[in-house]
Amino acid sequence: MATDFKSIPVIDVAPLFAKCDDPKMVQDPGVREVVKQLDQACREAGFFYAIYWRILEGHILMLVSRYALDMNVRYGCLKKHKRLNQNRGYQRIGENITKGVPDMDEAIDCYKELKQGMYGALGKPMEGCNQWPHYPPNFKELMEKYISLCTEVSRKIMRGIALALGGSPDEFEGERGGDAFWVMRLIGYPGASTANGKCTSENDIGCGAHTDYGLLTLVNQDENITALQVRNQAGEWISAPPIPGTFVCNIGDMLKILSNGLYESTLHRVINKSPTYRVCVAFFYEPNYDAAVEPLEVCVRKSSGIRKFENAVYGEHLVSKVQTNFVT
């Protein structure tokens, strides 16, 4: 359950990563310390910074993402075709809707590709190929490298979170997350006075208050611009300024269910008040597309045997969100 936290905790996950696939990881003092910090952060805020220095190699990723967004504004080359039921590609400013209000952001949306017919009717809305810009020529390769890096980082953090919940390290593998789905968004937020070519006010929200859908989100933020805000229990918006060499991590709706509400998928929003265009690369680590998600037994036991959530199918949750988030 979220508390009145005033800042987002910073966790050095290196000791966890070093021993993550070691059969004796549970006994390792370094792992235990990280697990303790993860548990506290997930209970109190649902958000934390994970120190991960290799992310700095991703600097080029930000430059390339900025460039790709810019090309789209000018040439509209990756447009989503609603007629073709296409959810992948470029989303214009104002096209994404949060609770009925258009968001002042633009994005290139990518999803793990599903083979045709793989999940029957459940998979149909998310079938199709990602649309990558053709320039720079290694754009696709760069993105794929980044996706596999984020998948690995997320898997390792989820092993720590599994222990934090009192389960076994592979709680989120196998049928729950052994073939994890993912979503990646390259997002651009125009500077405060230029959104949509007209003057903007403080009321223009880059991305309205929402929770994320899956297990764990890794946010790679632009340097120097503070725009992401996280809501605490008292209803105050707490800033999550960029910290070099870290991912901002947060819990999604599926982990809230799996943890039986011990961990919250915390509301957050983005307001870019700076005059500068802000870029963010958000990676969403999700359960298996067809995973039946229900509270873990160990978490139900910790909640006096009370099961707080109905079962959910991840793919259904995703499709319902994707289809209500956009103007059709």
Ligand X SMILES: O=C(O)CCC(=O)C(=O)O
What residues line the site for ligand X (CB under 6 A)?
185, 187, 207, 212, 219, 221, 228, 268, 270, 280, 282
Token output for 123: 């998979």
Query: 8 touches which of Fe ion, ligand X, none (CB within 5 to 8 A by kind)?
Result: none
Q: Which does 280 bind (CB under 5 to 8 A by kind): ligand X, Fe ion, none?
A: ligand X
**Tokens 């910290």, residue located:** 243
What does 11 interact with, of ligand X, Fe ion, none (CB < 5 to 8 A by kind)?
none
Tell me how far, at minimum, the Cβ of 197 lies from ligand X, in Å. 21
CA distance 250 to 268: 10
The residues of the shown chain that bind Fe ion, judged by CB under 5 A, are: 212
Residue closer to Fe ion (CB basis): 35 or 232: 232
Which one, 39 or 212, has the nearer CB to ligand X? Answer: 212
Residue 46: CB minimum distance to ligand X, A: 12
Name the DSSP letter for residue 137. T
Residue 47: CB minimum distance to ligand X, A: 11
The structure tokens 């789209």 sit at: 72
- The DSSP annotation for 215-273 comes to SEEEEEEPTT---EEEE-TTSPEEE----TTEEEEEE-HHHHHHTTTSS----EEE---
CB of 169 to ligand X, least distance (A): 27
Task: Give the shortest CB-168-to-ligand X separation in angstroms.
Answer: 29
C-beta closer to ligand X: residue 205 or 282: 282
Given the complex with ligand X, which of 61 and 282 has the nearer CB atom? 282
Q: Which is nearer to ligand X, 16 or 41 (CB)?
A: 41
Query: Looking up tokens 């125009």, which residue turns up?
Result: 190
Q: Which residues contact 85 (CB under 8 A, 6 or more apart)?
A: 125, 128
Q: Please, which residue, 124 or 210, has the CB nearer to ligand X?
A: 210
Q: Shortest Cβ contact with ligand X: which residue?
A: 280
DSSP calls for 281-323: EEEEEEEETT-EE---HHHHHHTTT---S--EEHHHHHHHHHH
Distances from the Cα of 52 to the Cαs of 12, 56, 58, in angstroms?
A: 8, 8, 11
Cβ atoms within 10 A of the Cβ of 152, count?
12
* Residue placing its CB nearer to ligand X in the complex, 27 or 194: 194
Identify the CA nearest to 307 among candidates 299, 316, 315.
299
Q: How far apart are CA 305 and CA 43, in angstroms?
A: 19
| 219 touches, from ligand X, Fe ion, none (C-beta below 5 to 8 Å by class) | ligand X
Shortest distance, CB of residue 24 to ligand X, whole angstroms? 36
Question: Which option in Fe ion, ligand X, none does residue 221 bind, with CB closer than 5 to 8 A by kind?
Answer: ligand X
- Partner interacting with residue 42 (select from Fe ion, ligand X, none; CB below 5-8 Å by kind): none
CB of 220 to Fe ion, least distance (A): 13
The minimum distance between CB 220 and ligand X, in angstroms, equals: 9
Residue 185 binding partner per list Fe ion, ligand X, none, with a CB distance cut-off of 5 to 8 Å that depends on partner kind: ligand X
Number of Cβ atoms within 10 Å of the Cβ of 228: 27
Q: CA distances (Å), 35 to each of 28, 157, 160, in order?
A: 11, 9, 5
In the complex with Fe ion, the residue whose CB is nearer, 98 or 151, is 98
